[in-house]
Amino acid sequence: MMELDAYRIAERFSRLSADQRRSVYQKVRSQGLGMGQFPIPRRHEKKAAVYPASYAQGRQWFLWQLEPESTAYHITGALRLTGGLDLDALRSSFESLVKRHESLRTVFQANDEGLAYQVILNDSKLDFSYNDVRHVKSESRQSHAHAVLQEASETPFDLTKGPLLRVRVVRLAEGEHLMLVVMHHVISDGWSIQLILDEFVTYYRAHVQGRAAKLSELPIQYADYAVWQRHWLEAGERERQLDYWRNQLSDEHPVLQLPTDHPRKVEGKYRAARHEVVLPTALERDLRQCLINI
């Protein structure tokens, strides 16, 4: 009963005007309650395709405007697939994921003030490609495949056009493939990668077996969360959180001079390198077992 009442309050709250929400927020706070104690309701009207961006998406939009060629916020996940692979089923599985999750077919535009809003596309073409490198000499095959995947990972996304999800499949040999999934952080996060892969497996298995995938209906979409978040923060929660951090951080913010090997660069630009090390098979097996037991 308590959960049902909380949901009804949340629904009614979302239907109020901005001034009315602020009044309700003050009353809720006076009773010792907060936004985290109320569920996220679904949007009332889903015919529209334009919704406000979440605050996290707003930050990503701002950073992308500064450096549209940057790949710093690309989220990637790669799998090595062994055995028979049904390429049509694989592609159909990702198409089903895009259809299921609105965020995977979302792009962004700016309003008159330059602030981002979400545009949820009814139909978004999957950015998918398949490369067969079996014709490449065996000693160069891995590096050729790496170049294909690196290009997909390091090609910037256009947040205004999309799609903001890429899938690349490379065939190395008979029964051996590499699959790379790249998403922009504006539509996903590290936790979501595992969810995407789990649902991909469910869809793929269903496609191969010629049946419908058994996935429960999503209670909300990300745009529902974005609307819910803005309603609460603009009703007064934003000021409460800002006041907390102002008190915690005070007015002085000296630069932290942490002990490092090299002095801080004024321009804040750094270069990095990657070194690959081949571990003995036994050590690799033991390390994997340690990770599983954590």
Residues 171 and 138 in one domain: yes
- Condensed to tens digits (0 to 9), the pLDDT of residues 86-124 reads 999 999 999 999 999 999 999 999 998 888 999 999 888
How many whole angstroms separate alpha carbon 115 and alpha carbon 128?
30
Compute the distance between CA of residue 243 and CA of residue 35 in angstroms, rounded to an integer.
Answer: 16
Give me the residue label for tokens 């545009």. Answer: 119
User: The domain containing residue 177 runs over which residues?
Assistant: 70-107+122-217
Counting Cβ atoms within 10 Å, is residue 226 exposed (0-12), middle (13-18) or buried (19+)?
buried
Paired with 82 in beta bridges are 176
- Given this model, what pLDDT does residue 194 score? 86
Same domain, 10 and 139: no
The verdict on residue 49 lying in a domain is: no
The region of weakest confidence among 26-40, 51-65, 76-90 is: 26-40
User: What's residue 240's pLDDT?
Assistant: 93
Which tokens belong to 3?
């959960």
Overall number of domains in the chain:
2
Q: Where do the H-state alpha helices sit in the chain?
A: 2-15, 18-30, 55-66, 87-100, 138-154, 190-209, 222-232, 238-249, 281-293
Q: What is the CA radius of gyration of the chain?
A: 23
Report phi then psi at 72, rounded to 5.
-65, -25
pLDDT band, residue 155 (cuts 50/70/90) = very high
Q: Are residues 173 and 80 in the same domain?
A: yes
* CATH number for position 201: 3.30.559.10
Same structural domain for residues 231 and 126? no
Q: Do 6 and 83 belong to one domain?
A: no
Mean pLDDT of 30-46: 83
Q: Write down the pLDDT at residue 275.
A: 86
Contact present, 136 and 144 (Cβ < 8 Å): yes
CB burial of residue 174 (10 Å; 0-12, 13-18, 19+): exposed
153: its two tokens: 């990972």
Q: Which one of 185, 217, 249 terminates a domain? A: 217
> Looking at residues 197-206, what average pLDDT do you find?
94
Cβ proximity of 213 and 206 under 8 Å: yes
pLDDT of residue 175: 92
DSSP-derived secondary structure for 176-197: EEEEEEEEETTT--HHHHHHHH
Structure tokens at 243: 């006041």
φ, ψ at 275 (rounded to 5°): -120, 125
Same domain, 28 and 101: no
Residues 155 and 170 in one domain: yes
Identify the three-state secondary structure at position 138.
helix
Q: Tokens for 259, please give them.
A: 């002990």
Structure tokens at 245: 């951090």
Confidence of residue 251 (pLDDT cuts 50, 70, 90): confident
Domain boundary among 217, 249, 268: 217
* Residue 47 placed within a domain: no
